A = this chain, B = another copy of it.
Amino acid sequence: MFENEPATTAILMVAAGLLLIFSVLFSRPSERIGIPVVLVFLLIGLLVGSRLPDHFVDFDLAFRIGTVGLVLILFDGGLNTPFRQIRQYLAPASVLATVTVIGTALIVALIARLLGLGWTEAFLLGAIVSSTDAAAVFSSLRGSGVQLRRRVGATLELESGLNDPVAVILTLTLTAQLVSGGPFNLAALAGDILLQLAIGLAVGYAVGWLGSHLLDRIRVPAAGLYPVLTLALALLAFGLPTLFMGSGFLAVYIAALMLGNQRLPYRSGILRVHDAMAWLAQITMFLILGLLAVPEMLASAGWKGLVLALGLALVARPVMVMLSLWPFGYKAKESGFVAWVGLRGAVPILLATFPVLAGVEGAIELFHLVFFVVVVNALIPGATIRWAVQWFQVEQAGRQRPSPVLEVNAIDSLPVQIISFRLDPAAMVTGNPAGALPLPAGADILLLVRGKEALPVRPETVLQADDHVHIMVRPEDKRAVELLFGLREED
Contact = CB atoms under 8 A, between A and B. Distances in A.
A225 B27 contact: yes
A273 B406 CA distance: 20
Contacts of A90: none
Nearest to A444: B456
A84 to B, nearest CB: 23
- In the assembly, how many copies of this chain are there? 2
Interface string A344-363: 00000000001001110000
A71 B229 CA distance: 22
A453 B412 CA distance: 11
A113 to B, nearest CB: 25
A27 B221 contact: yes
Contact of A233 (B17, B37, B233, B457): B17
A16 B232 contact: yes
A142 interface: yes
A285 interface: no
Contacts of A24: 218, 220, 225, 228-229, 232
Q: Which of A27, A235, A358 has the most CB of B within 10 A?
A: A235
A190 interface: no
A295 interface: no
A425 interface: no
Contact of A280 (B1, B228, B407, B408): B228
Contact of A31 (B175, B218, B221, B232): B221
A227 interface: yes
Interface stretch (A149-157, A239-247, A386-394, A479-487): A239-247
A21 B236 contact: yes
A358 B11 CA distance: 19
A283 B235 CA distance: 15
A187 interface: no
A456 B218 CA distance: 32
A10 B280 CA distance: 21
A224 B235 CA distance: 21
Interface string A1-14: 11001110111111
Contacts of A21: 214, 229, 232-233, 236
B472 A10 contact: no
Most chain B Cβ neighbours within 10 Å, of A37, A221, A406: A221
A2 B359 contact: yes
A383 to B, nearest CB: 16
A142 B10 contact: no
Interface in A8-47: 9-14, 16-18, 20-21, 23-25, 27-28, 31, 37
Given A10-B242, A243-B10, A222 B456 contact: no
Given A357-B2, A412-B405, A13 B235 contact: yes
A287 to B, nearest CB: 12
Interface string A321-341: 000000000000000000000
Interface stretch (A61-69, A99-107, A299-307, A369-377): A61-69
Interface string A62-104: 0110011001000000000000000000000000000000000
A467 to B, nearest CB: 14
A279 B1 contact: no
Interface string A395-424: 000000001111111111011100000000
A221 B139 contact: yes
A392 B104 CA distance: 73
B221 A1 contact: no
Contacts of A16: 232, 235
12 contacts: A1-B359, A2-B179, A2-B358, A13-B236, A24-B229, A224-B276, A225-B279, A227-B272, A228-B279, A414-B454, A415-B454, A444-B456
